[in-house]
Amino acid sequence: MTNSFADFGKAKMIFVIGSNMTEAHPVAATFVKDAVLAGARLIVADPRRTPLVDFAERHVQHKVGSDVALLNSIMYVLISENLYNKDYVDSRCSGFKELKAKVMEYPPEKAAKICGITADAIHDLARELASVKPAMLMYTLGITEHTCGVNNVLSCANLQMLLGNVGVECGGVNPIRGQNNVQGACDMGALPNVFHGYQRVDNPENRTKFEKAWNVKDLPAKPGLMLPQMVEAVGEGKIKGFYIFGENLANTEPDIRHVEHCLKSAEFLVCQDIFPTETTKFAHVILPAAAWSENDGTFTSSERRVNRVRTAHPAPGDAKPNWWIFKEIAKRMGHVWTSNSAREIWDNEIAAFGPSMAGIKYARLENDGLQWPCPNEDHPGTFFLHKDRFASGLGKLVPVEWTPPAEVPDDEYPLVLSTGRRLYHYHTRTMTGRSGGLNDLLREERADISAEDANARGIEHGEMISVRSRRGEVVVRANVTDMIPPGLVWMAFHFREGNANWLTNPVYDPTCQTAEYKACAVQIGKLT
């Protein structure tokens, strides 16, 4: 996020797009609700009637996968009615002309058809957004989990820059991260193209720096494969040794059948985890790891805040901290790593060789942590990004074209399936499924459908139905709810039985390889 959670409660205008915050990030949502009680205005754009809509002055229920059209059209109105922040765009941004040319192709009348809403709704939304300064934009996976995910993100950024809302308190572009340490895993260089702190591997200076830091030669220059490509390559036999740390790929990746086929093909699969999972079944070696609260360390939250995680008690049996396991493997291959605790790893390596985190040391993390960038030990951390100037100089406005999801409904599969998380569980339930009480609150997967679609098929609320896509079929309980507009089916991936990923489409954003979890075509029907 460019901004901080503390802004949520103070914001005057909030635009939430593609985020069911009350279930996925409940505490963040409480601050949005507080802001509304204190007089802030809230606009929600979401295909579903999410609980936050109760607090919104406007709900735009656009179609799944039409975000770019909606956002471009909002910008059309802002530019044609001169409601954008001209001074800001002139002095701080580049690419306005190109952006303008593109968004002018999206008059509300045209976009309205793509989005399944009225042109007036787009006009009004644009005017409302422009009427309060600054406005804060938040999004989640509803924006990113599409084949056009990167374009969706760029559109959000375009909109906020056009309004002059980036680089100020209570403004910005704010993706709330789904997992506790996705931000951190990225920051730490668990990505194929960068060392930690986003230092690119294809830059020779960076490689030289890390060759010295790690006392090695010939660090690889070519960016590696992204996760979906790895899984494919494992299936094709190009990757022979596959090491999975903590992820339950067999349930979380789209098209479970295909993923399992790939995992089965690995010549040697290592799984390092705290529980046996559907994925560890395919392993040749399983390494037992210490869990959260069984060792010291840090997480980095969505607001770039590095927070301490502390030890409450030792790990069970022979389970070991993950960092120790990696260090032992390195040692057996002739590499002696000197750091011998999470604290030493952070202070002596991560801070030492990551300029944006150089000022973050364990000694400074006792209370509320620190938000990077934090370049030196006197730096208080950064509450919001891009103040006065963008990190890269000028804020780049990037024209983007709307593209439909890879698979759209047709006669055979007439409904759109969209997926996500529910309140009482987390991902594949390896943790929540084993925490007392949470299973009692939600025991099984459900398919949320509209009353219209249920009636048309004679489906009663609560009956078991079949949901089928080109990739598979699941049998789940129908949950008829007014959260869902006609034409949409919504499911989660918490349970193995009825997991939406038997159905989802393994197609990916070409740039970042995020899967299109949010849109594929399905049919539903009564059990025969």
Partner 1 sequence: MDKTTFILNGKETAFTPGQTILEAARNVGVTIPTLCHLKGSTATGACRVCLVDVKGARTLMASCSTPVTPGMEVTTNNERVLKTRKLIVELLLSSGHHDCIVCEANGNCRLQDLAYECKITELKFPRPDTCYPTESENPLIVRDFSRCILCGRCVQACNEVVVNRAITLGYRGSKSKVATGGDGSYSDGDSECVFCGQCVEVCPVGALTEKKAKGMGRPWETRKIRTTCPYCGVGCQQLLHVKDGRIAKVTAVEGAEPNQGRLCVKGRFGYDFLYSEERLKTPLIRQENGDFKEASWDEALDLVVSKFKGIIEKHGSDAVAGVSCARSINEDSYQMQKLFRAVFKSNNIDHCART
The residues of the shown chain that bind ligand SF4, judged by CB under 6 A, are: 25-27
User: From the list ligand SF4, partner 1, none, which binds 219 (C-beta under 5 to 8 Å, kind-based)?
Assistant: partner 1
Residue closer to partner 1 (CB basis): 324 or 390: 324
User: From the list ligand SF4, partner 1, none, which binds 496 (C-beta under 5 to 8 Å, kind-based)?
Assistant: none
Least Å from the CB of residue 28 to ligand SF4: 6
Residue closer to ligand SF4 (CB basis): 27 or 285: 27
User: From the list ligand SF4, partner 1, none, which binds 481 (C-beta under 5 to 8 Å, kind-based)?
Assistant: none
Q: Which 3 state secondary structure label does DSSP give 139?
A: strand
Residue closer to ligand SF4 (CB basis): 438 or 464: 438
* 176 Cβ neighbours under 8 A, 6+ residues apart: 1, 19, 21, 24, 25, 28, 138, 139, 140, 302
Looking at this protein, which amino acid is placed at residue 392?
S
User: From the list partner 1, ligand SF4, none, which binds 342 (C-beta under 5 to 8 Å, kind-based)?
Assistant: partner 1
Sign, CA torsion 191/197/199/205 = negative
Residue closer to ligand SF4 (CB basis): 102 or 304: 304
Question: What does the DSSP 8-state code read for residue 176?
Answer: P
What whole-number distance in Å separates Cα of residue 228 and Cα of residue 243? 14
Residue closer to partner 1 (CB basis): 108 or 197: 197
Residue closer to ligand SF4 (CB basis): 164 or 175: 175
What whole-number distance in Å separates Cα of residue 158 and Cα of residue 2? 14
* 324 Cβ neighbours under 8 A, 6+ residues apart: none
**Residue whose beta carbon is closest to ligand SF4:** 27
What whole-number distance in Å separates Cα of residue 128 and Cα of residue 356? 37
Residue closer to partner 1 (CB basis): 181 or 418: 181
User: From the list ligand SF4, partner 1, none, which binds 210 (C-beta under 5 to 8 Å, kind-based)?
Assistant: partner 1
Which tokens hold the place of 33?
């609700």
User: From the list ligand SF4, partner 1, none, which binds 76 (C-beta under 5 to 8 Å, kind-based)?
Assistant: none
Looking at this protein, which amino acid is placed at residue 436?
G
Least Å from the CB of residue 82 to partner 1: 37
Tokens 């009482």 correspond to what residue?
424
Least Å from the CB of residue 300 to ligand SF4: 12
Beta strands in 222-304 (DSSP E): 241-245, 268-273, 285-288, 297-300
Bridge partners of residue 491, in order along the sequence: 419
Q: Is 402 exposed, middle or buried (0-12, 13-18, 19+ CB in 10 A)?
A: buried
Least Å from the CB of residue 180 to ligand SF4: 6
Question: What does the DSSP 8-state code read for residue 357?
Answer: G
Residue closer to ligand SF4 (CB basis): 27 or 352: 27
User: From the list partner 1, ligand SF4, none, which binds 424 (C-beta under 5 to 8 Å, kind-based)?
Assistant: partner 1
Angle made by CA atoms 329, 334, 335, in degrees to the nearest 5: 75
User: From the list partner 1, ligand SF4, none, which binds 186 (C-beta under 5 to 8 Å, kind-based)?
Assistant: partner 1
